Amino acid sequence: LQVIPPVIGTRKACAPAVMEQERRYTDLLVAATSLRTGERGALVMSTNDGRTLEFERAAGGAQAGDPSFPQYR
């Protein structure tokens, strides 16, 4: 897995705590080195130093095969 920086984020100045949260999130995205499926079907991105991001489908969200599910090529 390779996320090529720069990761684009907002340019709007939010509260410092929110800006720090966004910075930490994008730092983790760029540092991710592996992908796997979690126990409940979540997408889990991991870094070499053990940090993880876990993405779960929102309740009622579209699933593969549904017409509203995004298709990427």
pLDDT value at position 23? Answer: 86
Q: What is the pLDDT of residues 33-58, one digit of tens each?
A: 999 998 888 889 999 999 998 888 77
Residues 8 and 18: their CA atoms lie apart, in Å, by: 16
Structure confidence by residue, pLDDT tens digits, 7-43: 777 677 788 888 888 888 888 888 999 999 988 888 8
Laid out side by side, the sheet with 32-37 consists of 32-37, 43-47, 52-55
Residue among 25, 26, 46 nearest 36 (CA): 46
What are the C-alpha distances in Å from 31 to residues 3, 36, 47?
A: 8, 15, 6
Given this model, what pLDDT does residue 68 score?
60
Record the pTM: 0.64
